[in-house]
Amino acid sequence: MSDAVAHADHGHAHAAHHPALQHHFDTMRQQKEAAVIGMWLFLLTEILFFGGLFVAYMIYRVWYFDAFAEASRRLSIFWGGLNTAVLIGSSLTMALAVRAAQTNNRKWTVNWLVLTMLLGCVFLGAKVIEYEDKFANYEVPGSSYNWLYHEQHAAAGGDHSEAGAAAEGHRELSLTPAQLQNTTQIYFSLYFTMTGLHALHMIIGVGLMLVITRMAWKGKFDAEYFTPVELSGLYWHFVDIVWIFLFPLLYLVERP
């Protein structure tokens, strides 16, 4: 913490003011660094925000591993994998957008930002499909939750029940179906809370980028001042990192 304090030149003839330099900062460099550290401190709060959920996940995963494994098998790896790829792709396009802003390339900044928002919407679309599937199979915790819905409604058919039943047959579980009915609700409670909060952060991110794209479109950014793009980039990459952890935790508990 011993970095030097930005030295303000005392003379009243300051360098030509960049329009975006705020009155209480001395140089653009000081303002930019303050903004980045401020953003990183905010990301700290987000790390600990999701950290609380990871504590709950960790404890219950050890206590009810079989319930977590069984419930995790009900999630489709296809959609999870696709979402991970989509989000990593959007991280790439975001990084390129920041690079474009850094190099005064207004057109490509807007293009990359739009592409990032598109990929974000694809991700949210996939999430809606997955949630819909959960609602259809009575896997939303609460009064409507029914773990044995498919066994009770064998006629309902669909790929869910055969694959599930067949695979389940050969594993001996430490929890009775009745206990599974309860403890898998904890898994799905955590699933919905984690992915729900993550999706909420995605929506805020897309909204943020709409504003940034409009500012980019109006040519507000240049090599000296592109802080808003940089900060929304940091936020977007953070949301991607959260999903990088959520994907293995929720989807890949135990896939025989």
> Of 221-240, which residues contact another protein (CB under 8 A)?
223, 230, 233-234, 237-238, 240
- Identify residues 190-209 at the interface with another protein (CB under 8 A): 190, 192-193, 197
Q: According to the binding rule CB under 8 A, does residue 124 interact with another protein?
A: no
Q: Least distance to another protein from the beta carbon of 59, Å?
A: 5
Sole residue written with tokens 């409670």: 189
* Close Cβ partners of 16 (under 8 Å, ≥ 6 residues apart): none
- Select 110 or 191, whichever has its Cβ closest to another protein: 191
- Identify residues 49-108 at the interface with another protein (CB under 8 A): 49-56, 58-65, 77, 81, 84-85, 88-89, 91-92, 94-96, 99, 102-103
Q: Least distance to another protein from the beta carbon of 114, Å?
A: 18
Residue 142 dihedral angles phi and psi, to the nearest 5°: 130, -160
- Select 208 or 241, whichever has its Cβ closest to another protein: 241
Q: According to the binding rule CB under 8 A, does residue 115 interact with another protein?
A: no
Q: Please answer whether residues 56 and 190 qualify as being in contact, where contact means their C-beta atoms are separated by less than 8 angstroms.
A: yes
Q: According to the binding rule CB under 8 A, does residue 178 interact with another protein?
A: yes
Q: According to the binding rule CB under 8 A, does residue 249 interact with another protein?
A: yes
CA angle 47–187–120, rounded 5-degree value: 50
Q: Least distance to another protein from the beta carbon of 172, Å?
A: 15
CA end-to-end distance (rounded Å), the chain: 49
Q: Please answer whether residues 180 and 146 qualify as being in contact, where contact means their C-beta atoms are separated by less than 8 angstroms.
A: no
- Select 9 or 157, whichever has its Cβ closest to another protein: 9
Residue 22 dihedral angles phi and psi, to the nearest 5°: -80, 155
- Identify residues 152-171 at the interface with another protein (CB under 8 A): none
Which stretch, 157-165, 182-190, 205-213, 214-222, contacts another protein (CB under 8 A)?
A: 182-190
Q: According to the binding rule CB under 8 A, does residue 48 interact with another protein?
A: yes
Give long-range contacts, CB 8 A cutoff, 24+ apart: 215-224.
216/101, 216/106, 216/109, 216/110, 216/113, 217/106, 217/110, 219/106, 220/20, 221/101, 221/106, 221/109, 222/104, 223/102, 223/103, 223/104, 224/18, 224/28
Q: Least distance to another protein from the beta carbon of 221, Å?
A: 14
Q: Please answer whether residues 198 and 130 qualify as being in contact, where contact means their C-beta atoms are separated by less than 8 angstroms.
A: no
Q: Report how far residue 30's alpha carbon sits from residue 37's, in angstroms, rounded to the nearest whole number.
A: 11
Q: According to the binding rule CB under 8 A, does residue 121 interact with another protein?
A: no
Q: According to the binding rule CB under 8 A, does residue 20 interact with another protein?
A: no
- Select 117 or 147, whichever has its Cβ closest to another protein: 147
Q: Please answer whether residues 187 and 68 qualify as being in contact, where contact means their C-beta atoms are separated by less than 8 angstroms.
A: yes
Q: How many residues of this chain interact with another protein, rule: CB under 8 A?
A: 92
- Select 110 or 187, whichever has its Cβ closest to another protein: 187
Q: According to the binding rule CB under 8 A, does residue 45 interact with another protein?
A: yes
